[in-house]
Amino acid sequence: MQALSNDRYKSVLHRVIVNSESERISVPTFYCPSPDAVIAPADALVDDGHPLAYRPFTYQEYYDAFWNMGLQSASCLDRFRPGGSLE
């Protein structure tokens, strides 16, 4: 959502607080586009006041970058900013 909204909606770091007195139930839900789907904001969200925050990228590029990061806490999305590095 952050890349699609051109940074108008920000992602937050997922954090969990353990409660030792009650159970916690989690239901993960994932929505994954096709590997060749291009991730980019709508043209209407890019203007002089809101320049392109990320270069267009495919879901496969994002998927590979995400899993190659390991357990780093930095956002892999930063790698797709202008001047970002995919190394």
Confidence of residue 87 (pLDDT cuts 50, 70, 90): low
Quick check: helix, strand or coil at residue 58? strand
For the cut 70, the answer to whether the pLDDT of residue 20 exceeds it is: yes
C-alpha Rg value of the chain to the nearest Å:
16
**For residue 86, what pLDDT is reported?**
59
d(CA 72, CA 18): 21
Quick check: helix, strand or coil at residue 50? strand
For residues 39 and 62, the answer to whether their CB atoms sit within 8 Å is: yes
**For residue 30, what pLDDT is reported?**
82
Task: For residue 22, give its domain range.
Answer: 1-87
Q: What's the domain count of the chain?
A: 1
**Which phi and psi angles does 50 have, rounded to 5°?**
-135, 75
Closest by CA to 87, choosing from 63, 68, 62, 60, is: 68
Confidence of residue 83 (pLDDT cuts 50, 70, 90): confident
**For residue 73, what pLDDT is reported?**
63
pLDDT tens for each residue of 22-46: 888 888 888 889 999 999 999 999 9
pLDDT tens for each residue of 55-82: 999 999 999 998 988 777 677 898 899 8
